């Protein structure tokens, strides 16, 4: 029997000890409930209830990261979630700025500005504060891009910004022609620490060619992850969806599609509550004249697509498609 | 014939609450089993492996159609599309080739017993079914074709079957009508990577003359501010854990289905029918005829109407 030396101050203590004694009593109902809770919690831990990401990231209205000006709040949250969820402290992260497309037609309304992926490189300090090393790079255009800059100033600017310049594999390089690409491969082998564990980039819906002309194996580790943020766009009355093109491009080069995550950038409208819905007072027997069939249904975009790709195991030769199957929009 | 007094539906008929199609649909507020139980579905409905959530069907129908429109599901399964269309005051037709089509019939009977207006039917799909529908005047009458991709152990078989269904039922969709196909995320059974089934659906829809309008997400999880509450079962979570161990990378719990919205012949405006399909009546007729038979009569055999007199004849008179 517990005893207290102080009367008044021991009131709560006495009640706490009394509750403790009650917890320790072995009534059958309480014992059964305790066992069930323990079983449920064990199963929950084994099944991963505690920290399981979902394919829906609701980042609508997120605040901008400190120290950023152009980077959208939702995009900053995406970067933080990717870094904390798919890397460990000490890993290397690459923020790959996509090149601004030559034409960008967007019919979206809302808060989406002219460039939703502007300021991707501004998240450098945020990634550093998370304990990862980070680098910035800019993607290179494909060979068919009409405005490929050839002046040295642009090349120097890219190299000085990141120290790493992605270059497409030379299509004219044969087995006996060892020049720059082979030397880069050798450098990559000699300095495996230059590769990254996570590459975060963005892809505009009308410009996906540069993905096929980038040698990802030279900049990503064997266990690394590529995170590509993109969105669908309506050009006129047709849909331009780059998701399949991006997936086909990476799969044709031996990458596996790990996940497709939806990032909400605007709040959703809740569906009308059934109890508040009212039937129109006067419902005609015959249907009213239908709207013209040529009327286009407006579409409001409230999300972006985050596509995650990882390298296939070395022995999975059947996974990589033939080069002819790659298709870009 | 039907002396049962008209009872207000448990869910009142609602008009489209959003004339703008958003790219993410808030259809995951309640888990699937709760949706089925609250809406009076047969308990065996949950056994349908490719079940479309009733909330997704309801959102699609109420957003893309109006009262009196015809909704078609060429592979209705348990009849979710038909039931939700009836609940929303539309006419609905479901086709199925499955031996358990009694389940769809049971669900349709239940919603009709609740007093849902409109005409709904579930037909067994035969090679001559579509031809019979064309003869009955259904050509270019369907405002919405809504179905889901049903996969078999071989994913290619499911896509091929969907291609066949779209080829057969394409003439029934009216110019400017919508075709909506939902697709749950699927992974390769051994490689565990995501399958690009939406991409295959886009390709086959393009081959039948459908123009893609939007690629949307039908949420299967509830969103409350910055928190997401999934309704994944224990089996689904264990599957994700197993895939995670096999791949060595974090795998996210599925919280959305892909919804592909297409439009049929958007640049071709078909001539308006002489008499539009009447909207379902709100009260039973007093002539002694059942509501369903009256709706069938008005739908399939429109009565001659004085309003059909051409304007030129009126002016001459």
Residue linked to tokens 């979902």: A54
What pLDDT, on the 0 to 100 scale, is given for residue A106? 47
Which of B8, B193, B251 to probe the A interface (max A CBs under 10 A)? B193
The encoded tokens of residue B52 equal 């479309």
For B215-264, what is each residue's pLDDT tens digit?
A: 999 999 999 888 899 999 899 999 999 999 999 999 999 999 999 999 98
Nearest CA in chain A to B13: A279
Read off the DSSP letter of residue A5.
Answer: S
Shortest alpha-carbon distance between residue B164 and chain A (Å): 22
Nearest CA in chain A to B21: A299
A328 part of contact set with chain B, CB < 8 Å: no
Residue A239 to residue B215, Cβ atoms within 8 A: yes
Residues of chain A positioned with their CB less than 8 A from the CB of B295? none
Which of A50, A197, A233, A259 to probe the B interface (max B CBs under 10 A)? A259
Residue B135 has pLDDT above 80, yes or no: no
Taking the C-alpha atoms of residue B232 and residue A156, their distance in angstroms, rounded to an integer, is 51
pLDDT average, residue stretch B42-60: 92
Taking the C-alpha atoms of residue A283 and residue B48, their distance in angstroms, rounded to an integer, is 36
CA distances in angstroms from A265 to A18, A72, A111, A114, listed in the order given: 52, 10, 9, 15
The encoded tokens of residue A7 equal 């009367």
Which of A91, A247, A290, A307 to probe the B interface (max B CBs under 10 A)? A290
Q: Which residues contact B158 (CB under 8 A, 6 or more apart)?
A: B149, B150, B151, B152
Name the residue among A247, A259, A264, A274 with its Cα closest to residue A300: A264
- Contact yes or no for A92/A83 (Cβ under 8 A): no
Residue A289 to residue B276, Cβ atoms within 8 A: yes
Nearest CB to A270; choose among B13, B24, B26: B26
CA distances in angstroms from A103 to A106, A163, A204, A207, A255, listed in the order given: 10, 28, 10, 9, 29
Shortest alpha-carbon distance between residue B250 and chain A (Å): 7
Q: Give percent of chain B above pLDDT 70.
A: 75
For A268-296, what is each residue's pLDDT tens digit?
A: 865 544 433 333 333 333 344 344 444 56
Tens-of-pLDDT digits for all 329 residues of chain A? Answer: 434 344 444 444 455 455 545 555 567 776 766 665 555 455 544 444 446 889 999 999 999 999 899 999 999 999 999 999 999 999 999 999 987 766 544 444 444 456 899 889 899 999 999 999 999 998 876 665 554 444 444 444 444 333 345 443 333 444 344 444 444 444 444 445 579 999 999 999 988 888 988 888 889 999 999 999 999 987 666 789 999 999 999 999 889 999 999 999 998 865 544 433 333 333 333 344 344 444 567 888 999 999 999 998 776 655 444 443 434 33
Name the residue among B153, B151, B187 with its Cα closest to residue B77: B151
Taking the C-alpha atoms of residue A194 and residue B26, their distance in angstroms, rounded to an integer, is 43
Nearest CA in chain B to A244: B199
What pLDDT, on the 0 to 100 scale, is given for residue B57? 96
Residue A298 to residue B21, Cβ atoms within 8 A: yes
Residues of chain A positioned with their CB less than 8 A from the CB of B228? 54, 56-58
Residue B240 to residue A48, Cβ atoms within 8 A: yes
CA distances in angstroms from A79 to A74, A93, A128, A227, A292, listed in the order given: 9, 10, 12, 9, 44
Nearest CA in chain B to A289: B276
Name the residue among A284, A281, A274 with its Cα closest to residue B13: A274
Query: What residues of chain A, 100 to 159, have a C-beta less than 8 Å from chain B?
Result: none
Residues of chain B positioned with their CB less than 8 A from the CB of A49? 237
Q: Give percent of chain B above pLDDT 90.
A: 49
Nearest CB to B174; choose among A239, A293, A298: A293
The encoded tokens of residue B229 equal 């509450």
Q: Sheet with B70-73: list strands edge to edge.
A: B24-25, B210-219, B256-264, B173-183, B142-148, B70-73, B91-96, B120-124
Residues of chain A positioned with their CB less than 8 A from the CB of B276? 286-287, 289-290
For B75-117, what is each residue's pLDDT tens digit?
A: 998 999 999 999 999 999 999 887 667 889 899 999 999 888 8
Nearest CB to A54; choose among B20, B230, B281: B230
Which of A294, A298, A304, A320 to probe the B interface (max B CBs under 10 A)? A294
What pLDDT, on the 0 to 100 scale, is given for residue A6? 41
Residue A293 to residue B177, Cβ atoms within 8 A: yes
Nearest CB to A287; choose among B21, B214, B276: B276
Per-residue confidence band for B298, with pLDDT thresholds at 50, 70 and 90? very low
3-class DSSP assignment, residue B145: strand
Phi, psi of A69 (to 5 degrees): -120, -45
Nearest CA in chain B to A237: B213
What pLDDT, on the 0 to 100 scale, is given for residue A115? 86
Residues of chain B positioned with their CB less than 8 A from the CB of A290? 66, 272, 276
Residue A47 to residue B276, Cβ atoms within 8 A: no
The encoded tokens of residue A94 equal 């690459």
Name the residue among B252, B244, B303 with its Cα closest to residue B275: B303
Taking the C-alpha atoms of residue A205 and residue A229, their distance in angstroms, rounded to an integer, is 10
Residue A280 to residue B256, Cβ atoms within 8 A: no
pLDDT average, residue stretch B129-154: 81
* Residue with the larger pLDDT of the pair A291 and B53: B53
A260 part of contact set with chain B, CB < 8 Å: yes
CA distances in angstroms from B155 to A318, B200, B204, B207, B302, listed in the order given: 17, 11, 14, 19, 43
Query: What residues of chain A, 277 to 306, have a C-beta less than 8 Å from chain B?
Result: 277-280, 283-287, 289-290, 292-303
pLDDT average, residue stretch B108-127: 87
Q: How many A/B residue pairs have CB atoms within 8 Å?
A: 210
Angle at B257 between CA B19 and CA B181, to 5 degrees: 65
């Amino acid at each position: 029997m517990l005893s207290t030396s102080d009367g008044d101050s021991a009131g709560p203590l006495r009640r706490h000890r009394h509750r403790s004694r009650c917890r320790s009593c072995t009534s059958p109902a309480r014992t059964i409930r305790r066992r069930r809770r323990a079983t449920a919690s064990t199963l929950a831990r084994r099944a991963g209830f505690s920290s399981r990401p979902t394919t829906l990231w609701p980042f609508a209205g997120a605040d901008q990261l400190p120290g950023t000006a152009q980077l959208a709040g939702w995009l900053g949250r995406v970067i933080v979630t990717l870094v904390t969820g798919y890397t460990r402290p000490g890993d290397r992260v690459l923020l790959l700025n996509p090149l601004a497309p030559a034409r960008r037609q967007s019919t979206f309304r809302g808060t989406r500005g002219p460039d939703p992926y502007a300021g991707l490189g501004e998240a450098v300090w945020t990634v550093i504060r998370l304990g990862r090393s980070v680098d910035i790079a800019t993607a290179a255009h494909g060979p068919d891009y009409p405005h490929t800059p050839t002046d040295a100033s642009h090349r120097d600017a890219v190299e000085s910004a990141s120290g790493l310049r992605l270059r497409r594999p030379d299509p004219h390089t044969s087995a006996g022609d060892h020049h720059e690409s082979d030397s880069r491969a050798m450098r990559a082998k000699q300095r495996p620490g230059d590769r990254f564990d996570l590459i975060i980039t963005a892809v505009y819906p009308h410009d996906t060619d540069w993905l096929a002309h980038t040698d990802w194996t030279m900049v990503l580790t064997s266990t690394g992850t590529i995170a590509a943020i993109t969105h669908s766009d309506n050009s006129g009355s047709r849909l331009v969806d780059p998701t399949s093109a991006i997936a086909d491009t990476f799969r044709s080069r031996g990458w596996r599609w790990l996940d497709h995550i939806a990032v909400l950038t605007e709040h959703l409208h809740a569906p009308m509550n059934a109890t508040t819905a009212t039937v129109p007072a006067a419902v005609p027997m015959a249907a009213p004249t239908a709207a013209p069939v040529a009327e286009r249904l407006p579409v409001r975009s409230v999300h972006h697509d985050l596509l995650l790709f990882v390298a296939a195991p070395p022995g999975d030769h059947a996974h990589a498609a033939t080069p002819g199957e790659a298709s870009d929009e | 014939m039907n002396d049962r007094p008209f009872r207000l539906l448990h869910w009142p008929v609602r008009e489209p609450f959003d004339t703008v199609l958003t790219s993410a649909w808030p259809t995951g507020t309640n888990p699937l089993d709760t949706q089925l139980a609250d809406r009076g579905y047969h308990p065996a409905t949950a056994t349908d492996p490719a079940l479309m959530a009733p909330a997704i069907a309801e959102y699609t129908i109420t957003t893309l159609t109006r009262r009196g429109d015809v909704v078609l599901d060429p592979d209705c399964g348990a009849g979710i599309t038909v039931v939700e269309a009836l609940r929303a005051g539309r006419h609905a037709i479901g086709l199925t080739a499955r031996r358990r089509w009694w389940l769809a019939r049971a669900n349709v009977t239940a919603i009709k017993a609740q007093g849902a207006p409109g005409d709904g039917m579930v037909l067994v799909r035969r090679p001559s079914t579509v031809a019979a529908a064309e003869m009955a005047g259904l050509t270019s009458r369907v405002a919405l074709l809504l179905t889901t991709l049903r996969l078999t152990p071989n994913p290619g078989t499911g896509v091929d079957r969907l291609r066949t269904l779209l080829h057969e039922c394409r003439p029934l969709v009216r110019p400017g009508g919508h075709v909506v196909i939902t697709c749950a995320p699927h992974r390769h059974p051994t490689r565990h990577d995501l399958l690009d089934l939406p991409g295959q659906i886009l390709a086959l829809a393009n081959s039948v003359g459908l123009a893609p309008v939007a690629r949307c997400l039908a949420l299967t999880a509830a969103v409350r501010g910055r928190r997401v509450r999934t309704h994944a079962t224990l089996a689904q979570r264990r599957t994700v854990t197993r895939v995670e161990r096999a791949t060595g990378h974090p795998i996210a719990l599925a919280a959305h289905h892909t919804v592909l919205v297409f439009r049929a012949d958007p640049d071709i405006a078909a001539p308006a029918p002489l008499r539009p399909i009447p909207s379902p009546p709100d009260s039973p007729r007093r002539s002694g005829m059942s509501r369903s038979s009256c709706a069938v009569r008005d739908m399939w055999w429109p009565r001659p109407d004085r309003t059909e007199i051409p304007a030129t004849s009126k002016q001459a008179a």
